[in-house]
């Protein structure tokens, strides 16, 4: 199975701040990498698919990049609704594994 | 609009079988795959398996011996069955739709999830 290591596990940040979350795969995943946001009520929604493609309706302050084994999600200027959990997920090979998550907290 | 809704028992005894239903609307199961994902309390997400639009299935190898996913396209329902439950199967169980777009395969709509507790 491909292991997805996500860092940091938690991140205190301030409104308006630029933040980056990293995700490293245990082997190359050919850009087959998605990002999801989970709110405290459990609601999950997709943010980025295929490394850098913004899901419809997701604000442009979210962006994704990376290649090979290393990927990142950047939020350019934090809004109140962005404080949530974030997960990366690879779909290069089965099982389609998720990272362990990053909790974005208000500083 | 696209919706998915999980239903099933919230409490199951250890060693018994879990049966969950995902009822979908706004799309056809013959056009999209449906995936089951679970999340133990306070932990991350685990991909369990998928039923593709053609009815084929793939399972997480860690669960394959206990898990089956089926569907009834006429009722727009996908079924999960997992046997020999243990307390560490306690989790929120989500169903989600798989979408293909510009080289990407991702889960674009999610159900609200159903919390299942396995009691010893």
pLDDT category at B104 given cuts 50, 70, 90 is confident
- In degrees, rounded to 5, the angle at the alpha carbon of residue A103 between the alpha carbons of residues A99 and A107 is 155
Tokens matching residue B117: 């507790």
- Residue B49 Cα to chain centre, angstroms: 7
d(CA B57, CA B91): 22
Kindly list the residues from chain A whose CB atom is less than 8 angstroms away from the CB atom of residue B113.
42
Q: How confident is the model over B45-71, as pLDDT tens digits?
A: 999 999 999 999 999 999 999 999 999
Percentage of chain A exceeding pLDDT 90: 97
Contact A53 B61 (CB under 8 A): no
Q: How confident is the model over A22-32, as pLDDT tens digits?
A: 999 999 999 99
d(CA B102, CA B100): 7
Per-residue CA distances from B41 to A4, A51, B22 (Å): 20, 28, 21
Q: Tell whether B65 lies on the interface with A, counting CB pairs under 8 A.
A: no
Average of per-residue pLDDT across B2-26: 97
Q: Tell whether B36 lies on the interface with A, counting CB pairs under 8 A.
A: no
Strands B67-72 and B57-59: unpaired
| DSSP state at residue A37 | E
Residue B102 has pLDDT above 80, yes or no: no
Contact B44 A99 (CB under 8 A): yes
- Which of B61, B106, B112 has its CB closest to that of A42? B112
Contact A42 B102 (CB under 8 A): no
- Count the Cβ atoms, other than its own, within 10 Å of residue A42: 15
Three state DSSP letters for B2-14: CEEEEECCCEEEC
Residue B100 has pLDDT above 90, yes or no: no
Note whether A75 and B19 are within 8 A (CB): no
- Which of B61, B105, B108 has its CB closest to that of A91? B105
**Exposure on the CB side of residue B53, measured as CA atoms within 13 A:** 9
**Alpha-carbon gap: A79 to the closest alpha carbon of chain B (Å):** 22
Contact B45 A89 (CB under 8 A): yes
Q: Tell whether A52 lies on the interface with B, counting CB pairs under 8 A.
A: no
d(CA B74, CA B66): 26
pLDDT at B103: 76
């990498």: which residue's tokens? A33
pLDDT at B101: 80
Strands B114-119 and B11-13: parallel
Contact B110 A50 (CB under 8 A): no
Query: Which residue on chain A is closest to B104 by alpha carbon?
Result: A50
Q: How confident is the model over B69-81, as pLDDT tens digits?
A: 999 999 999 999 9
- For B54-67, letters b (16+ CB in 10 Å) and e give eeeebbbeebeebb
Q: Tell whether A89 lies on the interface with B, counting CB pairs under 8 A.
A: yes
Tokens matching residue A16: 């308006």
Q: How many residues does chain A have?
A: 107
Kindly list the residues from chain B whose CB atom is less than 8 angstroms away from the CB atom of residue A101.
44-45
Arithmetic mean of pLDDT over chain B: 96
Kindly list the residues from chain A whose CB atom is less than 8 angstroms away from the CB atom of residue B44.
87, 98-101
Q: How confident is the model over A47-89, as pLDDT tens digits?
A: 999 999 999 999 999 999 999 999 999 999 999 999 999 999 9
Average of per-residue pLDDT across B88-94: 98
Percentage of chain B exceeding pLDDT 90: 95
């Amino acid at each position: 199975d491909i292991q997805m290591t996500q860092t940091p596990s938690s991140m205190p940040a301030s409104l308006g701040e630029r933040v980056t979350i990293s995700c490293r795969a245990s082997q190359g995943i050919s850009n087959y990498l998605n990002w999801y946001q989970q709110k405290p009520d459990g609601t999950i929604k997709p943010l980025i698919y295929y490394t850098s493609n913004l899901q419809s309706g997701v604000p442009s302050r979210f962006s994704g990049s990376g290649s090979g084994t290393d990927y990142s999600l950047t939020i350019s200027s934090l809004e109140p609704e962005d404080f949530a959990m974030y997960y990366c997920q690879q779909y290069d090979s089965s099982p389609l594994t998720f990272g362990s998550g990053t909790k974005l907290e208000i500083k | 609009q696209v919706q998915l809704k999980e239903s099933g028992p919230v409490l199951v005894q250890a060693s018994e079988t879990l049966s969950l239903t995902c009822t979908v609307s706004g799309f056809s199961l013959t056009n999209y795959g449906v995936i089951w994902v679970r999340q133990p309390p306070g932990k991350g997400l685990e991909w369990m398996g998928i039923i593709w639009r053609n009815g084929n299935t793939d399972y997480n190898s860690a669960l394959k011996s206990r898990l089956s996913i089926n569907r009834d396209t006429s009722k727009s329902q996908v079924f999960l069955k997992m046997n020999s439950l243990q307390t560490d199967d306690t989790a929120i169980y989500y169903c989600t739709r798989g979408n293909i777009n510009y080289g990407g395969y991702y889960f674009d709509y999610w159900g609200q999830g159903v919390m299942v507790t396995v009691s010893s």
